[in-house]
Amino acid sequence: MKIFEPHQVIFRENALEYPLARKMYKKFEEEGYLIKKAPAKGRLPIDYDKTFQQKYNQAKKTILVAVRSTNNFASCKPSAHYQLPLISGCPAHCHYCYLNTNMGKAPYIRIYVNHKEIFAKAEEYIAEREPETTIFEGAATSDPLPVEKWSGSLTEAIKFFAKTKNARFRFVSKFTEIEPFLNLDHKKQTEIRFSLNSKHIINTFEKGTPQIDERLKAATMLKNKGYPVGFLIAPIFTYPDWQKDYEELIKKISLHFKDEQNLTFELITHRFTDRAKNIIEKIYPKNKLPLDKNERQFKYGQFGYGKYLYPAEKYHELENYFQQKINDYLPDSKIKYFV
């Protein structure tokens, strides 16, 4: 699996007031990356004279180091109470990616450097809900792992939550560079999940991501270090061999995790928005995604825009199938939700 190499790294000038940004600047410089500076707000020093597709691809190869407003954190149902906004964006090119809805045509990989302020805001949310436990999701608008070697954001979050009462952290990834986490004193307060899919779906739609075996190996290493681990099977598609292929996947997981008592599953069926469909068709014109609205049911989601889901009958068939197979192969695991 090729490791992510950005084409350029842009630092907002106000980000450079933070020690983390200065440390990253030095590291990117030593590693020979193209570095640019930009004002705190406004246009970036990039080539805007490009087609839509070229601009999208340019953004996927651009890291933007910035300061995150901490006015509020978005909610994050059903995976957590709040998003923890440390990173947004992802360098991979999964055709179905949900980021096509919320990041649109300029999916820069943003690293936010004001960790202390972000964690302080998290503490406010935790205090509001005490004595209940508040759960934060670190991958709501990103796959944060490909930039961890520069940002250290997840490492900081794991350390922060290890010493914070009434709170837990979780994030999900398709990537496997988990070495920074292996020797952290995480106190089981961080749950790391891997997003998996059938081999057919990975090979057809998930461009630039590691294969199933690599993800399972990373999950096993984390499990052996005491982390709570889990799996997202997402997005779930129906296609001619879906039952056989998904059974093969669940069987494979069971070979690695059959003795694990606290394994969790999160199951998300494929859905798309008008905005995502529009972008996907421009960026990946030859994609084979099932994006025919006539074959879907329309529903409003938590952020106010509508989504096209599988129709009720198919949805229930999928739900029953996954419940049955996970129960057959991994009876001690827990399905957190099926959506």
99 is an interface residue for ligand SF4 by CB under 6 A: yes
- Interface segment toward ligand SF4; rule CB under 6 A; list 36-44, 89-97, 147-155, 212-220: 89-97
DSSP for residue 88: E
Query: Residue 50 and residue 53: Cα distance in Å, rounded?
Result: 8
How many residues interact with ligand SF4 (rule CB under 6 A)?
8
* Distance between CA atoms of residues 104 and 107, nearest Å: 6
Let me know the angle formed at the C-alpha of 70 by 275 and 177, rounded to the nearest 5 degrees.
Answer: 70
Q: Which stretch binds ligand SF4 (CB under 6 A): 50-58, 87-95, 114-122, 300-308?
A: 87-95
Report the residue number, 56 or 310, with the smaller CB distance to ligand SF4. Answer: 56
- Tell me which residue of 122, 124, 84, 91 sits closest to 108, measured CA to CA: 91
DSSP code string of 274-323 = HHHHHHHHHH-TT------GGGSEEEE-TTS-EEEE--HHHHHHHHHHHH
Asked if 143 interacts with ligand SF4 (CB under 6 A), we say yes
The minimum distance between CB 102 and ligand SF4, in angstroms, equals 11
**Binding window for ligand SF4 (CB under 6 A); candidates: 15-23, 92-100, 270-278, 317-325:** 92-100
Q: Name the residue nearer to ligand SF4 (CB basis): 14 or 57.
A: 57
Helices 242-257 & 312-329 angle (0-180, nearest 10): 30
Examine residue 122 and tell whether it contacts ligand SF4 (CB under 6 A): no
Select the span of 88-96, 160-168, 179-187, 243-251 touching ligand SF4 (CB under 6 A): 88-96
How many helices and strands in the chain, by DSSP H and E?
Answer: 11, 16
Binds ligand SF4 by CB under 6 A, chosen from 35, 44, 92, 268:
92
Asked if 137 interacts with ligand SF4 (CB under 6 A), we say no
Report the DSSP beta bridge partners of residue 298. 308
174, 186, 200, 271: residue in contact with ligand SF4 (rule CB under 6 A):
174
Among 9, 59, 80, 97, binds ligand SF4 (CB under 6 A): 97
How far apart (Å, rounded) are the C-alpha atoms in residues 91 and 209?
A: 9
Residues that bind ligand SF4 (CB under 6 A): 90, 92, 94, 97, 99, 143, 174, 209
